[in-house]
Structure 1
């Protein structure tokens, strides 16, 4: 727990025992249900677990959109926000408002969990530290990698320094994979970082959901090899590399017609650069599991994920995966045994790897079976219980110091 400095000790904090009531968690999110992506789905699963299985109380502070992107879980306190120019599906929080602060004071959380390093998260972090409330941050996206796709490379230094301050000022950091945990541990100390992995729902993703009828409905024969792109259609997901990979495969004589599951502002951009593609848009539930399992090879060129839910869900579906060789992928994929890892920005390398799987169907099936076995180990309840244990340890579950008055005076 953050130590209250002697310089501000004249303000007497309030003491509150934990034992008589459930753990209270204030979760701050950049776009809790505005955008349908892996990070927000993971946060919603966490909230559901805390409410339904851990017996905790949760308040979510987040921008809200006129229409939710999906059915969300929990009580959301809206914060003031604005649309991001050119990306209307995303909303940018404008700070930790007085109304949100007063709501959190009344809620009296034992833990503040920050899932985005935005201005809302930073101001809430400053408030919580001044009030003596333990702060947990979780890393979901490699935001620094976005700069490459939007030609903002000159901002890399300031962005890296800001992120270092944000994560460094937390009491604990939840990292999605061992490589990221180790890197953050070297920077901030190994005792400050633990893993919040991800899970997969075996009822939703599995090889048994593969459907020849579904393929036939889309015009594919049993002998067609179907590459899959699965994710939001935004430039930072590596759409240029995916388009280049399919073009290179076609130049090699493999006249593949990919399936694209997902949607986003770059859909038309991709359609113009890559003809003869089956766009299925956003899918969910049984339809999503069937579509993923009915493809043959996932091609995932994204370098921005911190975990790689798409890889895990495709592996669980029995697909051979060709992925960018980045930390999020190497933590899941054993190259040559459960998938193939290639240089991140080289369409030729993706095409060569995919072509080798087209030409060697027995190897493709073997990779897919091994991938499904590994993915079966990733269960949501186990990984979410790890997060709850971090909360309990940091909160102490004995006596905590909380002082809203102190926080208002000393929060930056």
Structure 2
């Protein structure tokens, strides 16, 4: 009998984010194993569409109704209740064997209500601690009452789950420090779908001309524009970099909450003509923009979020055969070996960014060796085709443990 896995999600495709791309990779890989897989999203999905939707071959169910309004705490509890009702309805109709809830913690709380009621094993996957993500996004403050409460909810959700998955060692170590049994936690790191990103496309000369990048030393960032990404530091580094490398240009692809502030900062730069904003591009065109870039830069700021969480974008760049340069925060150090698979520089330091990039452009003899090493690392340790195997023994153990309970309930 085919194993059925219900993924409880914040949002999903057709929205595009690191969150949805990881979800897509997990679901597609699990379907490739022959498992029957579906997702259910909460009110935070926010995209128009039917209550049941197939996107890119994946089936998603939506929580009906609109997100609650009013007091933040009451609003979140109402959204949890609505999400739990949607999960309950799907569980009664579809009868999954495993419920796999993904952060933020609100999803875990909603899923736990249903899992307990039906005796279904629950896996809780943490991609980032919600309280730290709020600080990184500028919507929360570390040490505030809300921060403390969210942290307590997170710890409670982890203790209540049957198994816990995290995306990196930083999150695992933090949970162990909270007293969580290490045997309960697996690390399922961010990975790359090599079928999608494993065959780099050639640079499109017409796009190069359109962007004005002929003969340029191109530094690029492709992703979401959040404050913690440190793009303000990257823009501040451009005057020093251009003085060292007069043909240097910065290509920024994407958008997000900080986009206008970054555009204003770039306009005020003495080298504004060396900074190019493209905006968001369709996901199927992303590879064309990777092909325009010599060095992908990831200047994340130093904070709890970036120290604990590993990003996805550097892995995609490495899979594309692109050079990467990144700040030496903990999340990057888990992915990049300085001088072997990439270049690390001090965080929150535009001068350090400029120096690292200038050195890379000044000495190109190592570029091909670096690209090969980085791609080999992704193929060996961050390929979704192998990453998915980390879930299988957890699922099997939980299903084996649940079987006697199910037989007893039936009796």
TM category (shorter chain) comes to 0.7 to 0.9
The correspondence for 2:261, drawn from 245, 269, 279, is 269
Q: Which residue of 2 aligns with 1:382?
A: 386
Inter-CA distance 164–43: structure 2 relative to 1 (3 Å threshold): same
For 1:74, what is the secondary structure of its paired residue?
Answer: strand
Aligned partners of 2:351 and 2:77: how far apart in 1? 37
1:46 to 26, 32, 48: 26
Q: Determine helix, strand or coil for the equivalent of 2:340.
A: coil
- Partner in structure 1 of residue 127 of structure 2: 140
Comparing 184-193 with 143-152, which one deviates more in the overlay?
143-152
Please identify which structure carries the higher helix content: 2
Q: Give the aligned partner of residue 315 of structure 2.
A: 312
Residue 145 (structure 1) shift = 4.4
Question: Conserved in 2, the CA contact under 8 Å of 1:59 and 1:75?
Answer: yes
Single out whichever of 333-342 and 379-388 deviates more from structure 2: 379-388
Q: Which residue of 1 aligns with 2:288?
A: 290
Once superposed, what is the RMSD of the aligned Cα atoms? Answer: 3.3
Instruction: Note closer, same or farther for the CA distance 1:236–1:388 as it changes in structure 2 (3 Å cut).
Output: same
The within-5 A match list for 1:211-250 is 211=203, 213=205, 214-222=207-215, 224-250=216-242
Partner of 2:38: 58
8 Å contact from structure 2 (residues 11, 20) kept in 1: yes
Aligned length: 378
Comparing 55-64 and 344-353, the one that deviates more = 55-64
Supply the distance in 2 between the matched residues of 1:93 and 1:381 (Cα, whole angstroms): 38
> What's the counterpart of residue 337 of structure 1?
340
Relative to 1, partners in 2 of residues 1:113 and 1:77: Cα closer, same or farther, differing over 3 Å? same
Indicate the structure whose relative CO is greater, using CA pairs within 8 Å and at least 6 residues apart: 1
Residues 8-407 of structure 1 mapped to structure 2, 5 A cutoff: 21-33=1-13, 35-63=15-43, 64-67=45-48, 71-72=55-56, 73-82=58-67, 94-97=79-82, 98-129=85-116, 131-143=118-130, 144-150=132-138, 152-155=141-144, 156-187=147-178, 188-205=180-197, 208-211=200-203, 213=205, 214-222=207-215, 224-250=216-242, 252=244, 254=246, 256-274=248-266, 275-276=272-273, 277-284=275-282, 287-302=285-300, 304=305, 306-377=309-380, 378-396=382-400, 399=403, 401=405
Cα pair 2:217 2:248 within 8 Å, conserved: yes
SS across alignment from 2:96: coil
Q: Deviation per CA, 1:42-77: give whole Å up to 9, x if none.
A: 112222333343332434243343447994521313
Gaps of 5+ in 2: 71-75, 267-271
TM-score, length basis structure 2: 0.80
Moved over 4 A (4+): 251-255
Counterparts in 2 of 1:100 and 1:284: CA distance versus 1, 3 Å:
same
TM-score normalized with structure 1 length: 0.80
Q: Report the Cα distance in structure 2 between the residues aligned to 1:84 and 1:52, rounded to whole angstroms.
A: 40
